[in-house]
Amino acid sequence: MVGTYCKYSEMKFYKIMNEMMKEISAKSFLSIILSSLLVVFGCDDEEMMDDPTQCDNVQSVFTIRLDTDNCAIDIAAQLNTSSVYNETISGNTRTITLNSIPSHGVGQFPNSGNPNTISEQDNTYSMTTNPSLASSSTNGSGFVNAVLFSGVGIEVYTGEFFTGTSGQTNRDWNRTTLQTIDDLGLDCNNAHVQPEGEYHYHGLPNAYGSDLNVTGSEMVKVGYAADGFPIYYLYYEDDNGNIEKAEASYELIAGDRGGDGVSAPSGCHDGEYFQDYEYVAGSGDLDACNGRTGPTPDAPTGEYYYVLTEDFPSAPLCFSGTPDQSFRFGP
């Protein structure tokens, strides 16, 4: 990941040089600045700061937990309660209540990256039972993206944004949760806990998949998105009737972000931010919202559905239908 830290804007480079001039003599300046390039910018002595190829081999910081080793805690038993997912249908409306207590094992909370304690919630959501594709997709930021039969919701986006050295926040750059830069206390379900105690997923819930014995021999429905379309776990049926593991269609954007590190992030697109990725049609099996149209166990002739994947974004980033406002955060 040399490229991530090596490139700085010309303005920032000269600002650093200016500050150093105040502290050191002209005689020692040259030797110190040369060595500082190696330490501060993370470059080796063969790289040039304006090297246009420095981001060619950047390593993605995206990571998703795929084991179940650290999810042995039965939180429902600890809290002397049960996982709740209740569903009622009236007319064309499906109403779901859940308590955010998972039906599967979880990791230890609080932990070093997440200081919050799981507690029972009282959440109610509504959606149409007859979803249809909208003329354009709706960004999933600001929504609970989906609810699963495990009693837990999926919140893909985070409340963390780029903050520059001046303390200024740029909300156009939303930090991802599924990354290796910061310890955000995720357990094996790619989940952690909000300050008010709500346990929620940011990606693939592995312990739940293990409990469901998802092996790839069939499609397994695990919940609904906010627009009413179903969600399946990892696998889909292709045009030949074969069950295949789905791959998302996102790739890291090539090159440098172009920011100055003050008002916008600098360095290579490496996956720290959602905006480091771009949808590349045809590069995977799914559309920009991590969905596709095809046969399912519920609709052998075909329907639209989402798939939870092992690669970015793992869960729907947007809605292909119209999300119900009961899934929106806040009033």
pLDDT for 15-65, tens place per residue?
444 444 444 444 444 444 444 444 444 444 334 345 656 898 898 999 999
pLDDT for 267-296, tens place per residue?
999 999 999 999 999 999 999 999 999 999
94 forms beta bridges with: 89, 127
pTM score: 0.84
Report the C-alpha dihedral over residues 72, 235, 158, 277, rounded to 10 degrees: 130
- Flag residues of the chain having pLDDT under 70: 1-53, 330-331
Residue 310 neighbours by CB distance under 10 Å: 15
Per-residue model confidence (pLDDT) at position 51: 60
Per-residue model confidence (pLDDT) at position 122: 97
Per-residue model confidence (pLDDT) at position 242: 98
Q: What type of residue sits at position 189? A: N
Cis check: omega of the bond before 205, within 30 degrees of 0? no
